[in-house]
């Protein structure tokens, strides 16, 4: 009974930014539960390589795609491709993200717009297109990747990226609002707000402030390669069938 709560056999998950980092960790957690995997990013070759590894290791169907989620046309095209290849999408993970580190007064407009276009508009576009399919089937789980930075303001010496923080706070409210709107379609919308994890996006900050960040974290550490997987599997699986519109912080207590 309990094992069945986390079973994803014969489900299909579509994960943006799933070729590496946190997105790939989530994809692997789903694949280990029997889920078929579609992953996309701007680097199609990376996604195809990662998909091949998942297919070989877990004996599931996995495919990689190229997509710039800032482009409405590319989002529509890749969703059509995934539906053509898999026949359905049961789980959508909006993981693709961008950041820009700079003092607010020095942030160029184009940097602000890029962060908003990737983190917020890209999530809107992908959710809208996949959501149309989910509404037709009257089922679906959507997981948005927010951030602890969208919950708590950090001092500039730790994180100086107001555009990123603002975009992630918007993702949290987007999650709540859409969950309320789409509950009538039996579509669940939840979010995960990770704290500091090793990734391409955080490597500069962690290289300079990693030990200080650990010292100020209640659990005394940063996230590892598995710390996000349980939360993602919970939101994707039947275990969360009475949970929607929630933002779960996975941060070692840093937002307390």
What is the rounded CA–CA span in Å between residue 232 and residue 28? 11
∠ Cα 22 247 43 (to 5°): 25
Catalytic residue among 58, 65, 164, 188: 164
Active site residue 164: yes
Instruction: Please classify residue 99 by burial: count the beta carbons closer than 10 Å to its beta carbon, then call 0-12 exposed, 13-18 middle and 19+ buried.
Output: buried
Cα–Cα distance measured from residue 120 to residue 138, given in angstroms and rounded to the nearest whole number: 25
CB half-sphere exposure, 27, CA atoms < 13 A: 32
Instruction: Find the radius of gyration of the CA atoms of the chain.
Output: 17
Q: How far apart are the first and last CA of the chain?
A: 34
Active site residues: 164
């Amino acid at each position: 009974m309990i094992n069945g709560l986390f079973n994803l056999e014969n489900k299909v998950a579509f994960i943006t930014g799933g070729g590496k980092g946190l997105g790939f960790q989530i994809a692997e957690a789903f694949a280990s539960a029997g889920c078929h995997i579609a992953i996309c990013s701007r680097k199609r070759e990376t996604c195809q390589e990662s998909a091949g590894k998942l297919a070989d290791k877990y004996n599931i169907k996995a495919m990689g795609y190229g997509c710039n989620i800032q482009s409405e046309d590319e989002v529509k095209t890749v969703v059509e491709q995934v539906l053509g290849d898999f026949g359905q999408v049961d789980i959508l993970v909006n993981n693709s993200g961008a950041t820009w580190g700079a003092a607010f007064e020095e942030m160029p407009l184009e940097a602000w717009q890029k962060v908003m276009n990737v983190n917020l508009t890209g999530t809107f576009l992908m959710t809208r297109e996949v959501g149309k399919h989910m509404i037709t089937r009257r089922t679906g789980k959507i997981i948005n990747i927010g951030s602890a930075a969208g919950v708590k303001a950090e001092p500039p010496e730790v994180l100086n990226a107001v555009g990123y923080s603002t975009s992630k706070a918007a993702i949290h409210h987007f999650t709540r609002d859409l969950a309320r709107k789409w509950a009538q379609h039996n579509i669940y919308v939840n979010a995960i707000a990770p704290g500091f994890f090793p990734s391409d996006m955080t490597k500069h900050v962690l290289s300079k402030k990693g030990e200080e960040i650990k010292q100020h974290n209640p659990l005394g550490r940063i996230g590892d390669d598995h710390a996000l997987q349980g939360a993602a599997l919970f939101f994707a699986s039947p275990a969360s069938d009475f949970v929607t519109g929630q933002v779960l912080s996975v941060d070692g207590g840093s937002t307390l």
